[in-house]
Amino acid sequence: MKLGLLALTFSPIAYAYTYGLGTSWSIGTGSSSTIEKVTTTLNAGIPPSGQLGELILWPALSNGTGDLLMTSVESWSNQSWCGGVTGQWCIRTQVFHDQKSTFGAFAPLSASEPVTITFERNPDASGWTQSAIVNNNVVSMISSSSGPMTLFGMSTECDDYCAMTVSPQTYTNTTIILDVANPTWGATEVIGSRIYGDGTIDTNAQQPTIVDGITSSEDGKVWTITNITIPQLG
């Protein structure tokens, strides 16, 4: 597990000894405001062919010091572990706690299928439930007793010298609900961090993340982002 992801303060998934992260987006850095619920819809695009490593697309919640709540869309050399075939992604919900990952169900995801991902804190603040929904069906879900979360973001991860993305990833209709209104929370946004490790990804030619239409309502309690596009890494 690689720790301390520079600008995001998320921890990438525990798969490999080499890794790289492409352009990204996050919000909440340096703020004490806690998040109650996040909903976003990911259009993953076409997975690369000839995959030799592991390519992981992930939105995640963190507070920088405790658990990491993540839903990952993944490309491996063999997708049969989730019931998938060549040309499909694999998807699973997960919680990283105490140096170990716990997973929800595994499921295949076609390139043309958008997946709606939700992270929601329990009404009594006893933990979280995250879900991955495809065609109105919950394909993966996991609950945890994790505490407050202050950071939300997404990135693209490359492990074991993976074949990189061949199309952009878009996150649409992202809605974040805070526990208490904070009209200045939008200033914590970080766009297009160029993060990489061990020489896995050459970021020299990478394009920055594009964010369209960030607005707030209810005096800064509800934040909405129309579209977040992470360009292909190739």
Whether residue 92 contacts residue 109, with contact meaning beta carbons closer than 8 Å, is answered with: no
Distance CA 25, CA 230 (A): 8
Q: Tell me the average pLDDT across 7-23.
A: 48
Phi and psi of 185, rounded to 5°? -60, -30
Task: Sketch out the chain's domains with CATH numbers.
Answer: 19-230 (2.60.120)
| One-letter amino acid of 178 | L
* CB neighbour list of residue 123: distance below 8 Å, 6 or more residues apart: none
pLDDT (tens digit per residue) in 95-145: 998 888 999 999 999 999 999 999 999 999 999 999 999 999 999 999 999
Distance CA 113, CA 50 (A): 21
Distance CA 56, CA 81 (A): 15
Distance CA 74, CA 152 (A): 19
- Residue 176 has a CB neighbour count (10 Å cut-off) of 24
Distance CA 191, CA 208 (A): 7
- H-only helix segments in 24-171: none
Residue 212's Cα: distance from chain center in Å?
18
In terms of Cα–Cα distance, which of 116, 47, 127 is closest to 82? 47
pLDDT (tens digit per residue) in 158-199: 888 888 888 999 999 999 999 999 999 999 998 865 545 445
pTM, two decimals, is 0.88
| One-letter amino acid of 186 | G
Query: Six-digit token pair at 134?
Result: 């495809």
pLDDT for res 194: 54
pLDDT for res 155: 86
